[in-house]
Structure 1
Amino acid sequence: MHIVAVLALPQVVPFDLATPIEVFGRTRLPGGEPAYEVRICGPTAEIDADAFTLRPRWGLEALTAADTVIVPGRSEVDEVPDEVIDAVRAAAARGARLASICTGAFVLAATGLLDGLRATTHWAAAPQLAARYPRVEVDPDVLYVDNGQLLTSAGAAAGLDLCLHLIRRDHGSEVAAQASRLSVMPLEREGGQAQFIAADLSPVPRGSMLEPLLAWLEENCEKDLTLDDVAAHAGLSTRTLNRRFREQIGTTPLQWLLRARIRRAQYLLEATDHPVDRIADQVGFGSPASFRDRFKRVVGTSPRAYRGSFQRA
C-alpha cells in the first residue's frame, strides 16, 4: 500500500496537518479498499501545535519507509533542525515524493531540494521565502506547483487541491473525483492565488515621494489618462516620471494604473450587482474584452468567476 508520511514539526498549522490525513485517509479504490496508509511522524515525542499538543506515533524514521512525504505549514517559519533536513533529504534520495502545504515550502527549501525549481507557498509568505532562499523561483500566484518528485502548494484550501492532484496522479480521475466529493471540493478550481490576495493591501507605498501621485491615480483611474497626463500632474517630464517609478515602485506608471483599475474592479465585483461590461467602463477600460483579458492575467480567473466566489451578501 502507498504510505503517506505527514511530517509534524513544532508550530504545525492544524488545518494543514489535518488536510492530508483526512483526504488520503478517506480515499478508496474502486474495489473499496484503502488507497493509502497515513502515518503522522515528528522529530520528538510531543509536538507543540499551538492550540494543542500532538503525540506522533512515528518518528523521523517513518520518512525512510514512505512513498510520499507531506510537509504541512507552520505558524512560525523558524530554522529547520538538522535532523529534519537530513531525514527529508534521505527520503528524497530513496525516491520518495515530497510535497509541502503552505509554509511547509520553507522546510523543503531549507534542504536545498527546491534550488533552481519553481515553487509556491501562501501568498503572504512568498516574499519571505524568495528572500530567504533566492535560488528558489517563487511563484505566488498559483495554487500548487508540480515538479514531479517535488510539489509545493499555497495555503489553507490549496492543500486540498494538492492532495486531490496527487490522488489523480496515483489512481486516475475516477478515484480523485470520489475523493473530491467526500471533501466537498471541486477536483479543479479555476484561477490561482492572485484572486485571494486582498485588493486593499496598501497599493500606495507609504513614505514614497510618489505617494501623492499614486493616490491621485487611484482616485482617477477610470479616466482615459496618458503618460503625458500623469507626468503633467506630477510636474515631471515623462522620462523622469518613468525613472522614479522604476526606482521606487518597480514598474511603469501605466502598468501601475492598470493594476489600480483591476483593484477597483475587484471591489465593484464584490460590492455591487453592476454588469461586468458596465464595470469595465467604470474602471476605465476601452472595451469589455480588453477588461476581461487584463483581469484574467492579473487575478488568474474571470470577472464572473471572481464575483461568484467573493460577492458580498
Structure 2
Amino acid sequence: MKIAVLALDDVFDTGLAAVLDTLETANELGGRAQQNEIARISTRERVRTHHGFVVPLSPIPKRAPDLVIVPALACKQPDTIVAALDRPDVREAAALLARWHARGARVAAACTGTFVLGQSGLLDGHRATTTWWLGPTFRRAFPSVELDDEQMLVADRRVLTAGAALAHIDLALAVIRERSPSLASLVARHLLVDDRPSQAPFIAPGYVAYDDDLVKRFETWTRRHIAEPFELAKVARAVGASERTLQRRIRLVLGKSPVAFVQELRLERATHLLRVTHDSVDTIARAVGYEDGATLRLLIRRKLRTGVRELRGVRLSAS
C-alpha cells in the first residue's frame, strides 16, 4: 500500500514522528508481505516542524496514493488553528486532499490535522472526531460535520479521523489493523500502547475551549450551584435565556445536552474531593448534587470501565 504523510509547516513534531515510527515498526515486524511504501510530502518544497526541524520530503506523486495521512499542526488554541486554516499552504493541502479522494484515495488525520480535512469539505455531512478541547471550535468552523469528539477514532466514507496528540498512534495502528489485526497487536505491544477506544476518559470539562458567552455563563452558574438539584428552567432564567435557546446552544457548542454537561462537572468535582479530602462518598455525593453515594459510585464505576486513568485508585467505600 502506498501511504503519503502530508506534512505542513509548523507540524506537531510528536504527531509526525508517531505516525512514521508506528508505520515503520509495522514494516519491520510484518516482513515483506506487510510492507507499506511511505512517502513524506508537502505542498511546499521545504517544511519545518514546530520545533524547527527540516522534514525530508519526496515529490508529490502524479497518481493518488492509496492513503494520505495529515498529522496535526502545532496549534493548541482556537485562534491559532482558525488562523492556520487561512494559510495558502493549508488551503492548497485541503484542495489536494479533495482531488485525491475523488480519485479513490483514502484520507486520514489526527488532532488538529482534522481541521485540514474539514477545510477540504470531505467531512461535510459525515461523522468525525478531533482533539477534545477544540471540539467547540471545530463545530463552529464546520457546522455540517457530525462531530463526536469523545471518540478516539471515527471512520466514515473512506475518511479516518483521530483525537488529540498521541491519537496519531491510534490512527496509524488502525491503518495497520485493517490489513492485519495480529500485526497491529504486535506493533502495539512493541510500542507499549493500550487499547484506547475513547477520548472521554481524558476530557477535562473545565479545559474545553469555547468562546460562547451563554455557555460560559451556564458553566459558571452550575459550578457555583453544583450541590443543588439541576432544574433547566431555573438555570435558564439565571443566565438570561429560554430553555430552548439554552439547550440548543449547549448542543451546538458542546455536542451534548445540558444534563450531560452538568453530570461531567459533578463527576469532575467529586473526583477532586475524593482525592483531597477524607469525606465519605455519601458526603461528597451530596456536595455535588446527588442525594446519596449510590449514584456517584455507579457513575464512577462506569467511568472506570471505560478506562479513566485519573479515577483509578479513587476510594468508593462509604468511609
Q: Shorter-chain TM-score: what band? A: 0.7 to 0.9
User: Conserved in 2, the CA contact under 8 Å of 1:42 and 1:56?
Assistant: no
Q: Residue in 2 aligned with 1:137?
A: 146
2:207 is the counterpart of 1:201: yes
Q: Residue in 1 aligned with 2:186?
A: 178
Q: Which moved more, 1:41-50 or 1:149-158?
A: 41-50
Task: Tell me the TM-score normalized by structure 2.
Answer: 0.75
Q: Residue in 1 aligned with 2:7?
A: 8
Offset of residue 296 of structure 1: 7.6
| Superposition pairs of residues 169-248 of structure 1, within 5 angstroms | 169-172=178-181, 174-186=182-194, 188-189=195-196, 192-201=198-207, 218-219=223-224, 221-222=226-227, 225=229, 227=231, 231=234, 240=237, 244=241, 246=243, 247=245
2:169 aligned to which of 154, 160, 165: 160
Higher RCO (C-alpha under 8 Å, 6+ residues apart): 2
Offset of residue 87 of structure 1: 2.4
Change (3 A) 1:60 1:265: farther
Offset of residue 169 of structure 1: 1.3
User: Conserved in 1, the CA contact under 8 Å of 2:201 and 2:307?
Assistant: no
> Which 5+ residue runs of structure 1 have no aligned equivalent?
none
User: Conserved in 2, the CA contact under 8 Å of 1:193 and 1:300?
Assistant: no
Opposite residue 128 of structure 2, the aligned amino acid is: A
1:72-95 per-residue CA deviation (whole Å, 9 max, x = no partner) reads 111243335454234222321232
Question: RMSD in angstroms over aligned alpha carbons?
Answer: 4.0
Query: In structure 2, what is the Cα distance between the partners aligned to 1:109 and 1:164?
Result: 22
Offset of residue 245 of structure 1: 6.3
Q: Residue in 1 aligned with 2:78?
A: none
Q: Residue in 1 aligned with 2:312?
A: 308
Secondary structure of the 1:40 match is strand
Q: Which moved more, 1:116-125 or 1:52-61?
A: 52-61
Q: Residue in 2 aligned with 1:115?
A: 124
Query: What stretches of structure 1 move > 4 A for 4+ residues in a row?
Result: 28-31, 205-211, 213-217, 239-243, 247-257, 269-282, 292-297, 299-305
Task: Tell me the TM-score normalized by structure 1.
Answer: 0.76
Secondary structure of the 2:107 match is strand
User: Conserved in 1, the CA contact under 8 Å of 2:201 and 2:306?
Assistant: no
Change (3 A) 1:134 1:253: closer
Between the two proteins, the alignment pairs up a number of residues equal to 296
User: Conserved in 2, the CA contact under 8 Å of 1:115 and 1:135?
Assistant: yes
Q: Residue in 2 aligned with 1:74?
A: 73
| Superposition pairs of residues 90-129 of structure 1, within 5 angstroms | 90-129=99-138
| Superposition pairs of residues 40-59 of structure 1, within 5 angstroms | 40-59=40-59
Offset of residue 59 of structure 1: 2.6
Secondary structure of the 2:108 match is strand
> Which 5+ residue runs of structure 2 have no aligned equivalent?
75-80, 251-256
Change (3 A) 1:269 1:32: farther
Offset of residue 26 of structure 1: 0.8
